[in-house]
Structure 1
Amino acid sequence: MARKMNISQLRAYVDSQLVANQFNGSFEAHELSMQKYLKLLREAAERFKFFELSQVSRSKNKKADAISKLAALTFSHFQKQVWVEELPHKSIDGSLIDAAIEEVQPNWMDPLIHYFCNNILPGDKKEARLVCERSPMYVIENDVLYRKSYLGPLMRCVGPAEAATIVEEVHSGSCALHSGYKTIAAKIMRMGYFWPTLYRDVAQIVKRCKSCQRHAPQNRNQDMI
Protein backbone atom coordinates (compact mmCIF):
# COMPACT_ATOMS: atom_id res chain seq x y z
CA MET A 1 0.00 0.00 0.00
CA ALA A 2 2.83 2.39 0.81
CA ARG A 3 4.46 1.79 -2.58
CA LYS A 4 1.16 2.34 -4.42
CA MET A 5 0.80 5.66 -2.59
CA ASN A 6 4.30 6.65 -3.82
CA ILE A 7 5.65 6.90 -0.27
CA SER A 8 9.45 7.06 -0.33
CA GLN A 9 10.16 7.08 3.43
CA LEU A 10 8.56 4.57 5.76
CA ARG A 11 8.92 3.83 9.47
CA ALA A 12 7.36 0.53 10.56
CA TYR A 13 6.78 -0.90 14.04
CA VAL A 14 6.61 -4.48 15.27
CA ASP A 15 6.20 -5.95 18.76
CA SER A 16 8.60 -8.85 18.07
CA GLN A 17 12.10 -8.21 19.39
CA LEU A 18 13.38 -11.15 17.35
CA VAL A 19 12.09 -9.77 14.03
CA ALA A 20 13.30 -6.23 14.70
CA ASN A 21 16.79 -7.32 15.76
CA GLN A 22 17.16 -9.79 12.90
CA PHE A 23 16.36 -7.05 10.41
CA ASN A 24 18.70 -4.56 12.12
CA GLY A 25 21.53 -7.11 12.26
CA SER A 26 21.72 -7.56 16.03
CA PHE A 27 20.41 -11.15 15.82
CA GLU A 28 21.09 -13.84 13.23
CA ALA A 29 18.32 -15.80 11.52
CA HIS A 30 19.14 -19.49 11.90
CA GLU A 31 15.85 -21.11 10.87
CA LEU A 32 15.29 -21.48 7.14
CA SER A 33 11.78 -20.00 7.26
CA MET A 34 13.02 -16.92 9.16
CA GLN A 35 15.83 -16.48 6.65
CA LYS A 36 13.29 -16.45 3.82
CA TYR A 37 11.07 -13.92 5.60
CA LEU A 38 14.10 -11.75 6.35
CA LYS A 39 15.14 -11.82 2.69
CA LEU A 40 11.66 -10.71 1.56
CA LEU A 41 11.63 -7.92 4.14
CA ARG A 42 15.00 -6.57 3.06
CA GLU A 43 14.00 -6.71 -0.61
CA ALA A 44 10.87 -4.70 0.22
CA ALA A 45 12.89 -2.21 2.30
CA GLU A 46 15.27 -1.54 -0.60
CA ARG A 47 12.37 -0.11 -2.63
CA PHE A 48 12.16 2.87 -0.28
CA LYS A 49 14.63 5.72 0.03
CA PHE A 50 14.36 5.37 3.81
CA PHE A 51 13.00 2.41 5.76
CA GLU A 52 13.21 1.82 9.51
CA LEU A 53 11.85 -1.08 11.54
CA SER A 54 11.50 -0.46 15.27
CA GLN A 55 10.24 -2.58 18.15
CA VAL A 56 7.42 -1.48 20.43
CA SER A 57 6.42 -3.22 23.64
CA ARG A 58 3.42 -5.53 23.50
CA SER A 59 1.63 -3.39 26.07
CA LYS A 60 1.61 -0.51 23.58
CA ASN A 61 0.52 -2.74 20.70
CA LYS A 62 -2.62 -4.34 22.13
CA LYS A 63 -5.08 -2.93 19.57
CA ALA A 64 -3.02 -3.96 16.55
CA ASP A 65 -2.38 -7.36 18.12
CA ALA A 66 -6.11 -7.90 18.72
CA ILE A 67 -7.01 -6.95 15.14
CA SER A 68 -4.40 -9.38 13.78
CA LYS A 69 -6.13 -12.23 15.66
CA LEU A 70 -9.71 -11.41 14.64
CA ALA A 71 -9.63 -13.96 11.82
CA ALA A 72 -9.37 -16.78 14.37
CA LEU A 73 -11.75 -15.34 16.98
CA THR A 74 -15.42 -14.37 17.18
CA PHE A 75 -16.56 -11.01 18.52
CA SER A 76 -20.31 -11.12 18.00
CA HIS A 77 -20.81 -8.19 20.37
CA PHE A 78 -18.85 -5.83 18.10
CA GLN A 79 -21.17 -3.36 16.41
CA LYS A 80 -18.52 -1.95 14.09
CA GLN A 81 -17.09 -4.01 11.26
CA VAL A 82 -13.36 -4.70 11.15
CA TRP A 83 -12.11 -5.88 7.77
CA VAL A 84 -9.63 -8.75 7.95
CA GLU A 85 -7.61 -9.99 4.99
CA GLU A 86 -6.98 -13.73 5.12
CA LEU A 87 -3.73 -14.90 3.50
CA PRO A 88 -4.22 -18.47 2.20
CA HIS A 89 -0.52 -18.95 1.39
CA LYS A 90 2.72 -17.97 3.07
CA SER A 91 4.67 -15.23 1.33
CA ILE A 92 7.81 -17.40 1.42
CA ASP A 93 6.14 -20.23 -0.51
CA GLY A 94 6.60 -18.36 -3.77
CA SER A 95 4.08 -16.47 -5.86
CA LEU A 96 1.44 -18.32 -7.84
CA ILE A 97 1.57 -17.88 -11.60
CA ASP A 98 -1.86 -17.38 -13.09
CA ALA A 99 -2.68 -18.18 -16.67
CA ALA A 100 -2.65 -15.15 -18.90
CA ILE A 101 -6.09 -13.77 -19.71
CA GLU A 102 -6.60 -12.65 -23.28
CA GLU A 103 -8.33 -9.29 -22.94
CA VAL A 104 -11.03 -8.01 -25.24
CA GLN A 105 -9.85 -5.25 -27.59
CA PRO A 106 -10.82 -2.47 -27.71
CA ASN A 107 -12.16 -1.90 -24.20
CA TRP A 108 -13.15 0.98 -21.92
CA MET A 109 -9.54 1.72 -20.83
CA ASP A 110 -8.21 2.55 -24.31
CA PRO A 111 -9.45 6.20 -24.53
CA LEU A 112 -7.93 7.03 -21.14
CA ILE A 113 -4.63 5.32 -21.95
CA HIS A 114 -4.39 7.12 -25.31
CA TYR A 115 -5.13 10.41 -23.58
CA PHE A 116 -2.52 9.94 -20.84
CA CYS A 117 0.21 8.47 -23.05
CA ASN A 118 -0.29 10.25 -26.37
CA ASN A 119 -2.58 13.18 -25.49
CA ILE A 120 -5.10 11.88 -28.03
CA LEU A 121 -8.85 12.30 -27.50
CA PRO A 122 -11.67 10.39 -29.25
CA GLY A 123 -13.06 11.93 -32.40
CA ASP A 124 -16.58 12.16 -30.98
CA LYS A 125 -16.97 15.40 -29.00
CA LYS A 126 -19.19 13.81 -26.33
CA GLU A 127 -16.74 10.96 -25.69
CA ALA A 128 -13.81 13.40 -25.66
CA ARG A 129 -15.56 15.51 -23.03
CA LEU A 130 -16.22 12.43 -20.88
CA VAL A 131 -12.57 11.39 -21.08
CA CYS A 132 -11.43 14.85 -19.94
CA GLU A 133 -13.92 14.83 -17.07
CA ARG A 134 -12.94 11.36 -15.87
CA SER A 135 -9.18 11.66 -16.33
CA PRO A 136 -8.46 13.31 -12.91
CA MET A 137 -9.70 10.13 -11.22
CA TYR A 138 -7.16 7.95 -13.03
CA VAL A 139 -3.39 7.66 -13.19
CA ILE A 140 -0.86 5.52 -15.07
CA GLU A 141 1.92 3.83 -13.09
CA ASN A 142 4.43 1.56 -14.86
CA ASP A 143 2.24 1.44 -17.98
CA VAL A 144 -0.77 0.27 -15.95
CA LEU A 145 -3.99 2.27 -15.55
CA TYR A 146 -5.19 2.77 -11.96
CA ARG A 147 -8.32 4.29 -10.47
CA LYS A 148 -7.77 6.66 -7.57
CA SER A 149 -9.72 6.06 -4.36
CA TYR A 150 -10.65 8.52 -1.65
CA LEU A 151 -9.36 6.64 1.39
CA GLY A 152 -7.51 3.58 0.06
CA PRO A 153 -4.68 2.72 -2.32
CA LEU A 154 -4.87 2.80 -6.10
CA MET A 155 -7.13 0.23 -7.76
CA ARG A 156 -5.89 -1.51 -10.92
CA CYS A 157 -8.25 -1.12 -13.86
CA VAL A 158 -9.19 -4.33 -15.67
CA GLY A 159 -10.95 -5.17 -18.91
CA PRO A 160 -14.13 -7.24 -19.43
CA ALA A 161 -12.40 -10.63 -19.62
CA GLU A 162 -10.37 -10.21 -16.45
CA ALA A 163 -13.33 -8.59 -14.70
CA ALA A 164 -15.47 -11.67 -15.38
CA THR A 165 -12.74 -13.90 -13.93
CA ILE A 166 -12.47 -11.75 -10.79
CA VAL A 167 -16.23 -11.73 -10.19
CA GLU A 168 -16.43 -15.50 -10.65
CA GLU A 169 -13.52 -16.06 -8.24
CA VAL A 170 -14.88 -13.80 -5.51
CA HIS A 171 -18.44 -15.07 -5.88
CA SER A 172 -18.00 -18.82 -6.22
CA GLY A 173 -14.26 -19.57 -6.36
CA SER A 174 -11.84 -20.07 -3.48
CA CYS A 175 -13.07 -16.76 -1.98
CA ALA A 176 -16.72 -17.98 -2.16
CA LEU A 177 -18.79 -15.01 -0.99
CA HIS A 178 -22.56 -15.50 -1.41
CA SER A 179 -23.86 -12.16 -0.28
CA GLY A 180 -25.46 -8.97 -1.56
CA TYR A 181 -24.03 -7.42 -4.69
CA LYS A 182 -22.85 -4.32 -2.81
CA THR A 183 -20.85 -6.45 -0.35
CA ILE A 184 -19.22 -8.44 -3.15
CA ALA A 185 -18.42 -5.28 -5.13
CA ALA A 186 -16.90 -3.66 -2.04
CA LYS A 187 -14.68 -6.71 -1.48
CA ILE A 188 -13.47 -6.60 -5.07
CA MET A 189 -12.49 -2.94 -4.68
CA ARG A 190 -10.73 -3.71 -1.38
CA MET A 191 -8.77 -6.34 -3.29
CA GLY A 192 -7.58 -3.53 -5.57
CA TYR A 193 -9.59 -3.92 -8.80
CA PHE A 194 -11.93 -1.56 -10.63
CA TRP A 195 -13.99 -1.26 -13.81
CA PRO A 196 -16.95 1.07 -14.52
CA THR A 197 -19.66 -1.61 -14.66
CA LEU A 198 -18.51 -3.36 -11.46
CA TYR A 199 -21.77 -3.04 -9.53
CA ARG A 200 -23.94 -3.94 -12.52
CA ASP A 201 -21.89 -7.04 -13.39
CA VAL A 202 -21.94 -8.28 -9.79
CA ALA A 203 -25.69 -7.64 -9.48
CA GLN A 204 -26.36 -9.80 -12.55
CA ILE A 205 -24.32 -12.68 -11.08
CA VAL A 206 -26.14 -12.43 -7.74
CA LYS A 207 -29.58 -12.45 -9.40
CA ARG A 208 -28.72 -15.71 -11.22
CA CYS A 209 -27.29 -17.39 -8.11
CA LYS A 210 -29.76 -19.51 -6.10
CA SER A 211 -27.59 -19.49 -2.96
CA CYS A 212 -27.40 -15.70 -2.98
CA GLN A 213 -31.16 -15.42 -3.36
CA ARG A 214 -31.79 -18.01 -0.66
CA HIS A 215 -29.66 -16.16 1.90
CA ALA A 216 -30.74 -12.67 0.86
CA PRO A 217 -32.28 -10.50 3.61
CA GLN A 218 -36.07 -10.60 3.70
CA ASN A 219 -38.35 -7.58 4.11
CA ARG A 220 -40.51 -8.78 7.01
CA ASN A 221 -42.77 -5.73 6.93
CA GLN A 222 -43.70 -6.46 3.32
CA ASP A 223 -44.43 -10.11 4.19
CA MET A 224 -46.80 -9.03 6.99
CA ILE A 225 -48.74 -6.79 4.61
Structure 2
Amino acid sequence: MELDEEPVAEPNTPVDWRQPYLVYLLREVLPTDQTEARWLARHAKSFVIVEGELYKQSHTRILQHCIPIKQGNQLLKDIHGGVCGHHAAPKTLVGNTFC
Protein backbone atom coordinates (compact mmCIF):
# COMPACT_ATOMS: atom_id res chain seq x y z
CA MET A 1 0.00 0.00 0.00
CA GLU A 2 1.50 3.28 -1.08
CA LEU A 3 1.13 6.16 1.32
CA ASP A 4 0.32 8.56 -1.52
CA GLU A 5 -2.97 6.77 -2.02
CA GLU A 6 -5.58 8.35 0.24
CA PRO A 7 -8.15 5.78 1.37
CA VAL A 8 -11.63 6.79 0.33
CA ALA A 9 -13.96 6.38 3.28
CA GLU A 10 -17.32 5.17 2.06
CA PRO A 11 -20.24 4.72 4.44
CA ASN A 12 -20.01 1.38 6.29
CA THR A 13 -16.40 0.95 5.13
CA PRO A 14 -13.94 0.49 7.99
CA VAL A 15 -10.90 2.76 7.94
CA ASP A 16 -7.69 0.93 7.02
CA TRP A 17 -6.11 0.05 10.37
CA ARG A 18 -2.63 0.21 8.80
CA GLN A 19 -2.82 3.91 7.92
CA PRO A 20 -1.73 5.36 11.31
CA TYR A 21 1.31 3.04 11.35
CA LEU A 22 2.28 4.00 7.80
CA VAL A 23 1.94 7.72 8.50
CA TYR A 24 4.02 7.43 11.66
CA LEU A 25 6.74 5.20 10.21
CA LEU A 26 7.11 7.13 6.95
CA ARG A 27 6.49 10.72 8.06
CA GLU A 28 6.95 10.52 11.85
CA VAL A 29 3.54 12.15 12.35
CA LEU A 30 1.63 11.16 15.49
CA PRO A 31 -2.08 11.64 16.28
CA THR A 32 -2.95 14.85 18.12
CA ASP A 33 -4.48 12.95 21.04
CA GLN A 34 -1.64 12.36 23.50
CA THR A 35 -2.91 8.95 24.65
CA GLU A 36 -3.28 7.71 21.07
CA ALA A 37 0.13 9.13 20.19
CA ARG A 38 1.84 7.25 23.04
CA TRP A 39 0.00 4.05 22.19
CA LEU A 40 0.94 4.28 18.50
CA ALA A 41 4.58 5.13 19.18
CA ARG A 42 4.87 2.17 21.56
CA HIS A 43 3.19 -0.34 19.24
CA ALA A 44 4.86 0.90 16.05
CA LYS A 45 8.21 -0.41 17.29
CA SER A 46 7.28 -3.91 16.13
CA PHE A 47 6.32 -2.78 12.60
CA VAL A 48 8.56 -2.21 9.58
CA ILE A 49 8.00 -1.06 6.02
CA VAL A 50 9.48 -3.18 3.24
CA GLU A 51 9.06 -1.95 -0.34
CA GLY A 52 6.10 0.21 0.66
CA GLU A 53 4.27 -2.60 2.48
CA LEU A 54 3.67 -2.81 6.23
CA TYR A 55 4.94 -5.86 8.12
CA LYS A 56 4.83 -6.81 11.78
CA GLN A 57 7.96 -8.39 13.18
CA SER A 58 7.12 -11.32 15.46
CA HIS A 59 9.11 -12.04 18.60
CA THR A 60 11.02 -14.63 16.54
CA ARG A 61 11.84 -11.86 13.98
CA ILE A 62 9.59 -13.32 11.28
CA LEU A 63 7.96 -10.62 9.14
CA GLN A 64 4.19 -10.96 8.94
CA HIS A 65 2.52 -9.08 6.08
CA CYS A 66 -0.19 -6.72 7.32
CA ILE A 67 -3.36 -6.79 5.24
CA PRO A 68 -6.66 -4.86 5.30
CA ILE A 69 -9.54 -6.20 7.38
CA LYS A 70 -11.59 -7.16 4.31
CA GLN A 71 -8.70 -9.19 2.88
CA GLY A 72 -8.13 -10.79 6.31
CA ASN A 73 -11.76 -11.89 6.51
CA GLN A 74 -11.50 -13.45 3.05
CA LEU A 75 -8.27 -15.21 4.05
CA LEU A 76 -9.98 -16.74 7.09
CA LYS A 77 -12.91 -17.90 4.94
CA ASP A 78 -10.48 -19.52 2.51
CA ILE A 79 -8.57 -21.26 5.31
CA HIS A 80 -11.64 -22.54 7.15
CA GLY A 81 -13.47 -23.44 3.95
CA GLY A 82 -10.79 -25.84 2.71
CA VAL A 83 -10.95 -29.63 2.58
CA CYS A 84 -10.34 -29.95 6.33
CA GLY A 85 -12.81 -27.17 7.06
CA HIS A 86 -13.68 -27.01 10.72
CA HIS A 87 -11.64 -30.14 11.57
CA ALA A 88 -8.33 -28.28 11.58
CA ALA A 89 -7.56 -26.61 14.91
CA PRO A 90 -9.28 -23.24 14.36
CA LYS A 91 -7.46 -21.31 17.10
CA THR A 92 -4.10 -22.53 15.83
CA LEU A 93 -5.00 -21.55 12.25
CA VAL A 94 -6.02 -18.05 13.30
CA GLY A 95 -2.94 -17.69 15.51
CA ASN A 96 -0.65 -18.68 12.65
CA THR A 97 -2.49 -16.47 10.16
CA PHE A 98 -2.73 -13.26 12.16
CA CYS A 99 -0.15 -11.62 14.39
Category of TM-score, reference length = shorter chain: 0.7 to 0.9
Contact 1:172–1:178 (Cα < 8 Å) also in 2: no
**Runs of 4 or more consecutive aligned structure 1 residues displaced over 4 Å after TM superposition:** none
Question: Which residue of structure 1 aligns with residue 9 of structure 2?
Answer: none
Q: Shift of the alpha carbon at 1:154?
A: 0.3
Instruction: Give the gaps of 5 or more residues in structure 1.
Output: 1-103, 195-225
Aligned residues: 87
Q: What is the CA–CA distance in structure 2 between the aligned matches of 1:177 and 1:139, rounded to whole Å?
A: 33
Unaligned regions of 5+ residues in structure 2, if any?
Answer: 1-12
- Identity among equivalent positions (%) equals 25
Task: Return the alpha-carbon distance in structure 1 between the equivalents of residues 80 and 37 of structure 2.
Answer: 35
Match of 1:149 in 2: 58
Which structure's relative contact order is higher, taking Cα pairs within 8 Å and 6+ residues apart? 2
Residues 129 and 173 of structure 1, relative CA distance in 2, 3 Å threshold: same
CA distance in 1, matches of 2:44, 2:84: 32
Instruction: Tell me: CA distance 1:153–1:175, structure 2 relative to 1, closer, same or farther (3 Å).
Output: farther
Structure 1 position 156, deviation (Å): 0.3
Give the TM-score, by structure 1 length. Answer: 0.35
Please tell me whether residue 129 in structure 1 is matched to residue 38 in structure 2.
yes
Equivalent in 103, 114, 117 of residue 26 of structure 2: 117
Question: Match for 2:79 among 170, 187, 193?
Answer: 170
Distance, in Å, in 2 between the alignment partners of 1:120 and 1:188 is 29
**Higher alpha-carbon Rg:** 1
Give me the CA root mean square deviation: 2.1
C-alpha distance in structure 1 between counterparts of 2:62 and 2:84, whole Å: 21
| CA distance in 2 between partners of 1:163 and 1:120 (Å) | 26
TM-score relative to the length of structure 2: 0.74
The 2-side partners of 1:141 and 1:157 are apart by: 11
